[in-house]
């Protein structure tokens, strides 16, 4: 008798906790109500710091080349390749650091003169205060520059109507495998 009772209590606690995890209701009527109250809301500024792990080699790659142009293999910048990514975001540079989200999207070589990527990524967070919320990054990333600045062009959940800047700095790059760890600092204004 005790085991089914404990199971029922645990299941009930989990069901009650689910609404607390997603702090913003995404139902269309709730979103409409949120927009009606936009004029009375105060802008917030949030600073996020995390590391992106882009693994293109090994048994479990997180980014895969899905297309390339007829000149990609002879281009010094690999011009024309496109990769899909589902890279983990962590609290520290170590691969076993706490996972705080995923970077999911597309990047490709978009410059003939230097290594420069066009990136369009959804940063999907699982931190308790941002769980399920996203930021949309769209911009140019020249990986051999010491710092890169890319715009944040939107967001969802806690980050609805976000705008801001992401700065990236390569923490580690393996020239043999192509794997990279990139440090990100993101500052966004949202409601």
pLDDT at 22 over 50: no
Structure tokens at 164: 């801001």
Residue 3 in domain: no
Residue 63 in domain: yes
61-71 average pLDDT score: 97
Residue 37 in domain: yes
Residue 55 in domain: yes
Residue 44 in domain: yes
pLDDT for res 4: 56
169-175 average pLDDT score: 96
Residue 5 in domain: no
* Dist CA 141 CA 120 (whole Å): 10
pLDDT for res 83: 98
* Dist CA 125 CA 121 (whole Å): 12
* Dist CA 181 CA 35 (whole Å): 38
Query: Of all residues in the chain, what percent carry a pLDDT higher than 90?
Result: 83
Full domain range(s) for residue 163 = 23-190
Number of domains into which the chain is organized: 1
Q: Which residues of 67-84 are buried (b: 16+ CB within 10 A; e: fewer)?
A: ebeeebeebebbbbbbbe
* Dist CA 133 CA 156 (whole Å): 5
CATH code assigned at 67:
2.40.480.10
Confidence bin at 25 (pLDDT 50/70/90)? confident
Sequence-distant (≥ 6) Cβ neighbours of residue 44 within 8 angstroms:
189, 190, 191
- 72-128 pLDDT, tens per residue? 999 999 999 999 999 999 999 999 999 999 999 999 999 999 999 999 999 999 999
């Amino acid at each position: 008798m005790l085991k089914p009772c404990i199971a029922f209590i645990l299941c009930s606690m989990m069901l009650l906790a689910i609404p607390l995890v997603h702090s913003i209701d995404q139902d269309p009527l709730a979103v409409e109500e949120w927009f009606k109250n936009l004029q009375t809301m105060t802008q917030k500024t949030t600073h996020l710091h995390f590391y992106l792990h882009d693994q293109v080699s090994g048994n479990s790659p997180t980014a895969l080349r899905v297309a390339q142009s007829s000149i990609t293999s002879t281009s010094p910048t690999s011009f024309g390749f496109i990769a899909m990514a589902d890279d983990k975001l962590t609290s520290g540079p170590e691969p076993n650091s706490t996972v705080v989200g995923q970077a999911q999207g597309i990047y490709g070589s978009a410059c003939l003169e230097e290594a420069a990527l066009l990136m369009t990524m959804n940063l999907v967070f699982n931190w308790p205060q941002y769980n399920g919320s996203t930021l949309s990054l769209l911009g140019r990333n020249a990986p051999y520059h010491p710092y890169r600045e890319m715009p944040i062009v939107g967001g969802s959940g806690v980050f609805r109507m976000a705008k801001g800047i992401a700065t990236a700095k390569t923490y580690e790059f393996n020239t043999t495998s192509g794997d990279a760890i990139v440090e990100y600092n993101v500052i966004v204004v949202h409601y």
